[in-house]
Amino acid sequence: MSDTSLTIDTILAPELTLCRVPASSKKRVLEFIAEQIHEQDESLNDVQIFNNLIARERLGSTGIGQGIAIPHCRLEGLDRVIGVLLTLEESVEFDAIDNQPVDLVFALIVPKEATSEHLELLSQLAEKFNERSFCNALRECEDARTLYERMTAASG
């Protein structure tokens, strides 16, 4: 495995790991994600990120079931992968495949020229979120630091 390989701990920053975020809708969750990314890197346009996330959702919901969503999109001019992890204060409707509301969100923003490596990352995430005990451990977190540590501890 090369040093440049994408793993959850290389794309997720503590600043973009947020616990018990208040959100009233899927749209608001996606807006919040875009705003947080913009706050961390002002060269990235939050409106563009939001529009790209919405456009991707229109192709089909990224709600993968069991209260989990992995919204993702490509972004012009991005030179790295950005991950955002949120637990929501209350579940929101996300048009998930099992029609269950979502309270665990991992967003992935990838460069326009995304490679198979990015798809690999999506499958890594889906695999992790397939473990109910792992998801429950994330949901139990009371603060962002613990959430970040739990999310990155298991990756590698």
Catalytic residues: 72
Among 137, 130, 132, 129, residue whose Cα is nearest residue 107: 129
The answer to whether 108 and 121 are in contact (CB under 8 A) is: yes
Segment (H or E) for 146: helix 144-153
Residues 6+ apart with CB under 8 A from 22: 88, 89, 90
